[in-house]
A and B are shown apart, each in its own frame.
Chain A
């Protein structure tokens, strides 16, 4: 059974090929059947693989399938090999399981779009790249998938390319993540130069043998990998692309910017955890990057007015949680949160998509309101997703977030724990605000008064299934024990932490519900007084990072381009065509149309030739 592993990525890849080459020749239903079916087949295969893997574990708790040698250059021979272990099985499950339902929803959401087939070909390409990323057994293969993911996210963010703003958002995402990718590439060079291999398993064995704990080279390599992870996962300081990436269609936001792609960084760090354990400094950086991003994104989400941007910032902050967990050494808790977050965040984005379509592409939550009675089904599933997001007791998010907070506390990272607790409070506040403004109160626009609910199996089934997992996904036990080291922690005090975090999130919900439902005037007054206004402006612009980067990088770079535009060497190049034009003009003068002049030229030429021959 495990030998069919390669089919997992072959299905989406084949789907991409078919859809890409059959452009405009297939009907919408055929496209949907191919695009959704390929992921469905892949998901089914993942299920079978998982059952077979867990019931009959292969030797060493991992199965490696060698497809071929990618290239062989002077001893450098990276294999095209797939590796299935507990970690990649979990990732496969998330990508294919959640991905399938998102594709199904997208087949409803994108109905009637001009480029229905283009959309699904990109989506399949994305899933295939992501599968490459998690299945690759060496870092080069992983990097291949990593870049493929970057490419397809670029294509999908700029999917509606006729609006230049979408193209700009796509370019921004591409360039910003490319900064991280460059760090990662340099990290790979260093690893290969120092250890002579890129195979992950070999690296994990070789690194502790060659490098002492805390050695400089281990720290540099780990920090460079962290740079790559930070770019892909939209963490500080490369987080600015994620909110703009909401320019893409909503299922894209659900698939790429919530459920899978942005978790690639978390996966990378968990995969190379041995390196980070060798460098306590780098591991600390991971935790602090997570904690700071978590708080910044939480504050920013408080003031956003676009439903998708609120969710985007909450994604950023939840991935901050995962980084925080990684930094505290709680590897499996981070992966656990990755999975539960994929469930409820995909659910939130899909139901937000349903809201947006119900209101004819209105995304401003201040133009919504009162949708609870208009689209009750979406209201319920959205609320379930929100409960997962705020870690309401016994939803999926509760288990994973408590696991993170508890392990951070118990492993002695008290500062990270407090940051996580503040984040939990912020999450509760902005989530409740989002629900209150969207679904409660009176409708605040014509579109909201005339909202109409979405229909059909492709619309409701994914929402229902994801809602189920958002509630009960916390009971899933992940097979990570053999892949990631477990923290040995005393279990006393865990219930105290749980009670504390429940109290924090409930008080956040209560406060926000009171503020936005009972006392909206108080909110206005708060935002109107001078310090409130300043904070509001600061938070709305996401702490001014775009402003800062614009001045720090973009303008100097553009200025440099302008200087370089009229450069010295360029003038030599420009002189060549000018010289040819002049020469042509001079030669054209001899074509004066006078017969006798031509005859004289011929005679002179003949004389010249004879003279040359004779002399």
Chain B
């Protein structure tokens, strides 16, 4: 199969992952942080698919399905928590939610 070379796919994944991480670190709103997390998860999923295609193995796609379910579960729990936090603290600013100091 000729297609996108693995290097390109990996660079794409790296860029996506870095974007997600930066979003996670720079954004202050919980919703956006959750979205950044999704981007990071998806970047790894793309890496698995690309690697699977490169070595002609189905494992990469299986991992993708696994990550997809994981992401769905995570979003479900995360959004529920976000709702709860919004109800209780009337804010989604993560800097304001620093009560758990050591």
Contact = CB atoms under 8 A, between A and B. Distances in A.
A596 B25 contact: yes
A126 B98 CA distance: 69
Interface in A109-140: none
B94 A593 contact: no
Given A588-B102, A590-B102, A595 B94 contact: yes
Contacts of A592: 98, 101-102
B102 A596 contact: no
Interface in B53-97: 94-95, 97
B97 A595 contact: yes
B99 A599 contact: no
B21 interface: yes
Contacts of B102: 588-593
A600 B22 CA distance: 9
A594 B94 contact: yes
A603 interface: yes
A593 B21 contact: no
Q: Which of A590, A592, A595 has the most B CB atoms < 10 Å from its CB?
A: A595
Closest 8 CB pairs of A and B: A591-B102, A593-B98, A593-B101, A593-B100, A588-B102, A595-B94, A594-B98, A599-B24
Interface string B12-52: 00000000010011001000010000000000000000000
Contact of B95 (A588, A589, A590, A594): A594
A379 to B, nearest CB: 81
Contacts of A596: 24-25, 28, 33, 94-95
A591 B21 contact: no
Interface residues of A, number: 12
Given A594-B94, A595-B94, A596-B94, A603 B99 contact: no
A228 B100 CA distance: 69
Interface in A548-607: 588-596, 599-600, 603
Nearest to B97: A595
A590 B33 CA distance: 21
B38 to A, nearest CB: 14
B17 to A, nearest CB: 10
Given A590-B102, A592-B98, 13 more contacts: A589-B102, A591-B100, A591-B101, A592-B102, A593-B99, A593-B102, A594-B94, A594-B95, A595-B33, A595-B97, A595-B98, A596-B25, A599-B21
Contacts of A589: 102
B100 A603 contact: no
A354 B71 CA distance: 94
A590 B99 CA distance: 14
B55 to A, nearest CB: 21
Q: Which of A589, A596, A600 has the most B CB atoms < 10 Å from its CB?
A: A596
Nearest to A596: B25
A364 B98 CA distance: 76
B99 to A, nearest CB: 6
Contacts of A603: 21, 25
Contacts of A591: 100-102
B34 to A, nearest CB: 11
A595 B21 CA distance: 13
30 contacts: A589-B102, A590-B102, A591-B100, A591-B101, A591-B102, A592-B98, A592-B101, A592-B102, A593-B98, A593-B99, A593-B100, A593-B101, A594-B94, A594-B95, A594-B98, A595-B33, A595-B94, A595-B97, A595-B98, A596-B24, A596-B25, A596-B28, A596-B33, A596-B94, A596-B95, A599-B21, A599-B24, A599-B25, A600-B25, A603-B21
